[in-house]
Structure 1
């Protein structure tokens, strides 16, 4: 294997060493799928991405996403982080939109600048779809919390914008902080669902200028808890609009995640229901941390 360049970025981060870590390999054309998987396991971040060509195909850049355990058709922080590296290291001049060709399809990323430096990026996710509704008592057992701490006004449901997640509404931050996943019950429940990861949220937050606090658990993918999950929060945005969680079918909110594992993250969610369709956008910042090469 020839040496391959990589970059490390913190995504959905306000400062370095927060948010979700991502490794981006920019000259991965000669890597096999098996080599990509081995590298992702060696890096051992939630996800690692591989740009398979610096040239565009159908107007977009071909990108593959791997967790330590398997390839994914879509993931949020890898989409934004890879777009950030493409703009900074491949394109090298301001552009307003970058298209990524992922397994799930082509995902557009809009780039906002301050003085020619990337300030924030937004990805438009696939339209959310709503699937199986799950039992309160069963999920309470998985999370090791009493059933009455789950907000019964809203369903526990599988939602997908490309990758499905089980969305669980809680009443309080104290309940969310106490969660300890019961591994046996977790693997039992996901054997019956398309979704293999669980997003839990509540309306109480660490910071008053944020609207929701979120935790995401993905042991099936080799990620016990994820510090910032763009794909899951896209599903959450669709859910919030579908069920008028804030009393309306349009939202523009700030979501905090990762505080319980000391990787505080900030995700920006915008969504609106138009007729029967829901448009979902997830935004945030990316910060360069390191660069190097695999040899």
Structure 2
């Protein structure tokens, strides 16, 4: 998930469009098709169908921007990634990340899913950590139990949200006066604004007016009550992305990374905690957060659901 523009590939893909159609058709000639290894994964879950799906094309050298964008549109997932040889000698691999609408410099669940696919396909890191090259630069990834974790990138924008924007969000979220306890910019690339509510039930019953929130990327977070909600997680999160090809993202690494920076810096969370996300969509996503020294690690499990080859 990310803001548009900023030099990133951003071709409109809604409806027939000659730029992506030409990726598969040439004037009077049949386009040459190539076959690539392909995986579809479920990220932030150790069970299929309960996390956030991701499509990964491996060894994607030779594909054009238009071909990548067209395939991402066709998969109709929140993100599709393409693994390539790195251009930075410090990196183990390079990834390009596409939504159905645009290319992203960074996203969380595509980072973990792409690394899982790379390792599963025989990738061997140069060092103890895996180094991913992507649009924001190099991202460190480490093994964490049966899963993986990435270092939370620095925030591009942080701090308080203008009262006028908070009021627009409050009305769009159909919240009463005073229900938003606090709001912060937690933008590490996508442009996230995060809201803090009082309890998990308040998060789960949200039914936003997406028309009022179009163009915004909003996270909502509240603590679990161990007596009412149990102790499997400490926070509930939802991510709303109206106008980005989907209304709600099932489980969101970048948002949780941004919230972690906010909460840990202001003492709103312990040094290690677990987030539940996707509950309102029938998912059971789990995101682990851990502060180690100056680093904040965002982790979770990934499971491979589909393997094969794709012709492009």
TM-score between the two structures when normalised by the length of structure 1: 0.85
The correspondence of residues 194-205 of structure 1 with structure 2, limited to 5 A, is 196-204=216-224
Determine which of 71, 74, 78 is the counterpart of 1:46: 78
Counterpart Cα distance in 1 of 2:248 and 2:86: 32
Q: Which runs of 4+ in 1 moved over 6 A?
A: 92-95
Show CA shifts across 1:218-264 (max 9, x none): 12321211111000000000010222214xxx521000000100121
C-alpha contact 1:150 1:169 (8 A) present in aligned 2: yes
- 1:49-97 alpha-carbon deviations (Å, 9 max, x no partner): 0012389743331110011111110000100111111111032699742
> Residue 149 of structure 1 corresponds to which residue in structure 2?
179
* 1:204-243 to 2 correspondences below 5 Å: 204=224, 206-243=229-266
CA distance in structure 2 between the aligned counterparts of 1:147 and 1:47, rounded to whole angstroms: 35
Q: What is the CA distance between 1:268 and its match in structure 2?
A: 0.3
Partner Cα distance (2:87, 2:106) in 1: 20
Residue 285 (structure 1) aligned with residue 301 (structure 2): yes
**Cα separation, 1, equivalents of 2:122 and 2:176:** 50
Structure 2 CA distance for partners of 1:94 and 1:100, relative to 1, 3 Å: closer
Per-residue Cα deviation, 1:148-177 (whole angstroms, up to 9, x for no partner): 2222xxx31211233331010011222212
Cα deviation, residue 179, structure 1: 1.3
Selected match of 2:207 from 170, 177, 180: 180
In structure 2, which of residues 289, 298, 301 is the aligned counterpart of residue 269 of structure 1? 289
Higher strand share goes to which structure?
Answer: 1
Query: Which of residues 46, 50, 58 is equivalent to 1:14?
Result: 46
State the 1:112 CA deviation: 3.7
Which piece of structure 1 moves more, 227-236 or 9-18? 9-18
Aligned to 1:130: 158
Q: Return 34-43 or 218-227, whichever deviates more.
A: 218-227
Partner residue, 1:33: 65
Q: Give the Cα separation in 1 of the matches to 2:63 and 2:232.
A: 44
How many residues align? The count is: 273
8 A contact 1:14–1:266 mirrored in 2: no
Shift of 1:4: 1.8
Aligned match of 1:193: none
CA contact (8 A) 1:77 1:230 kept: yes
Q: Aligned partners of 2:126, 2:61: CA distance in 1, in Å?
A: 25
SS at match of 2:193: strand
* 1:95–1:111 contact (8 Å) kept in structure 2: no
Q: 1:87 touches 1:95 (CA, 8 Å); kept in 2?
A: no
CA distance in 1, matches of 2:210, 2:85: 39
**SS state of the match for residue 179, structure 1?**
coil
Partner of 1:87: 119
Alignment RMSD (CA, Å): 2.2
Could you say which residue in structure 1 is the equivalent of 2:24? Answer: none
